[in-house]
Amino acid sequence: MIEISHLVKKYGDHYAVKDLNVRIEEGQIYGFLGPNGAGKSTTMNMITGYLAPTAGTVKVDGFDIVKEPEKAKEHIGYLPEIPPLYSEMTVEEYLKFAAELKRIPGKERAAQIEKAIKTAQLEDVRKRLINNLSKGYKQRVGLAQAVLGDPETIILDEPTVGLDPRQMIEMRELIRSLKKDHTIILSSHILSEVSAVCDQILIISKGELVASDTPDGLQAKLKGAGELELCVKGTAAQLKTLLSNLDGVESFTTTEAEDGTVLAQVSEKADCDIREPLFYELAENRMPLLGMEKKTGSLEDIFLQLTDKLEEETKQ
Ligand SMILES: Nc1ncnc2c1ncn2[C@@H]1O[C@H](COP(=O)(O)OP(=O)(O)OP(=O)(O)O)[C@@H](O)[C@H]1O
């Protein structure tokens, strides 16, 4: 388990990470999602002890990453955005070297290396020079290094960046397969990737956590805040009066058609579902409802909404 409490990283006056509080539970895949510059790499680097926080703490299975770095690091495997591979070594040589650096006891090393090679599916290229491997295989070598020593938590910074679509799919499958033995934290700016692979999504924007939920939960949260498309018999003026007085309406636009109907786009306030009261209100005002369609927000919308909201707030 990883506990991130009031974590802050400042560069001069600029907050790269601002008061981050997250609890990472075992056996799940967590995705840090955010646009470029949101603070994902900075957070990963602080969790893994590569960067000292300005304030706050990270505890890995109870060990403070700053005060007891060696003990804490035993519990995490890290694949940075640019894995530090030695291109003139073969895959096996590199993993031997990484096992020594990780201080895996001599008698366990060979077995651990075999396990890592198997997990990252590197059997076919184990004797090849890293320099001659494709980007996809290089990334897998980085992953093998991260799983060496069987740490409880594996942290992957943008693990599919620069991979072609096929390599991306293979990498995602590999990550999913790690879940049975490890807790995974990965960062990505690709929403579809995070929603396809992760159990929990943490949306980070301008160094702040703006949402934390399951992919379904995030979608459900904003269910009420969708858009309604209406087609009503009556005039735009009548409908405007009615919508203006209805609770839960955030904003609307109306367009009067020549056939005596009026079309409207209605935005609902968050956590509101106005369909029922709207139906009865229209009936009471003798305005027949000819059509009503609810457009729920996609995860893409939610992401944009949350990150844009913060952008606007910081501009004010
Ligand atoms: N060494 C540094 N000195 C000054 N500012 C920095 C430094 N490292 C990062 N930053 C700033 O901190 C913020 C967060 O950067 P970070 O690299 O963590 O974002 P990110 O979400 O990982 O983005 P990306 O996907 O582009 O890597 C950015 O505004 C960045 O410019």
Of the candidates 152, 72, 153, 148, which has an alpha carbon nearest to the alpha carbon of residue 109?
A: 148
CA 258 from chain centre, in angstroms, equals: 47
Residue 120 Cα to ligand 1 middle (Å): 29
Position 117: which residue type? I
Nearest-CA residue for atom 10 of ligand 1:
16
pLDDT for position 296: 62
Q: What mean pLDDT, rounded, does the chain reach? A: 89
The response to whether residue 128 sits with its C-beta less than 6 Å from ligand 1 reads no
Residue 224 Cα to ligand 1 middle (Å): 34
Nearest-CA residue for atom 17 of ligand 1:
41
Instruction: Say if CB 310 and CB 208 are below 8 A apart.
Output: yes
User: How many alpha carbons fall within 13 Å on the CB side of residue 68?
Assistant: 10
- Confidence class for position 237, pLDDT limits 50, 70, 90: very high
The response to whether residue 17 sits with its C-beta less than 6 Å from ligand 1 reads no
Identify how many contiguous H helices and E strands the chain contains and give both numbers: 11, 14
Give the strands of the sheet with 14-24, arranged side by side. Answer: 14-24, 2-11, 55-60, 63-64
pLDDT for position 210: 87
- Confidence class for position 310, pLDDT limits 50, 70, 90: low
pLDDT for position 224: 46
- Confidence class for position 222, pLDDT limits 50, 70, 90: low
CA distance linking residue 53 with residue 46, whole number of Å: 6
CA distance linking residue 184 with residue 30, whole number of Å: 6
pLDDT for position 196: 85
Q: Which of 41, 45, 310 to mutate to test the pocket of ligand 1 (most atoms within 8 A of CB)?
A: 41
- Region class of 12: left (phi > 0), else alpha (psi between -120 and 50), else beta: left
The response to whether residue 38 sits with its C-beta less than 6 Å from ligand 1 reads yes
pLDDT in tens, 100-138: 998 899 899 999 999 999 999 999 999 999 999 998 999
Position 278: which residue type? L
Nearest-CA residue for atom 5 of ligand 1:
11
Nearest-CA residue for atom 14 of ligand 1:
39
Instruction: Say if CB 95 and CB 148 are below 8 A apart.
Output: yes
CA distance linking residue 151 with residue 277, whole number of Å: 54
Nearest-CA residue for atom 16 of ligand 1:
39
Q: pTM for the full model? A: 0.76
Residue 174 Cα to ligand 1 middle (Å): 27
Residue range 155-179: mean pLDDT, rounded: 90
Neighbours of 95 (CB within 10 A): 24
Residue 41 Cα to ligand 1 middle (Å): 7
pLDDT in tens, 261-308: 999 999 888 778 899 999 999 999 999 999 999 876 666 666 776 766
Of the candidates 232, 296, 207, 267, which has an alpha carbon nearest to the alpha carbon of residue 20?
A: 207
The response to whether residue 316 sits with its C-beta less than 6 Å from ligand 1 reads no
Q: What are 241's two structure tokens?
A: 């009066």
Percentage of residues in the chain having pLDDT higher than 90: 67
Please report, for residues 124, 135, 221, 234, 308, the alpha-carbon distance to residue 82 in angstroms, rounded to integers and kept in the order given: 23, 11, 35, 62, 28
- Confidence class for position 191, pLDDT limits 50, 70, 90: confident
Please check the confidence at residue 244 and state whether its pLDDT lies above 90.
yes
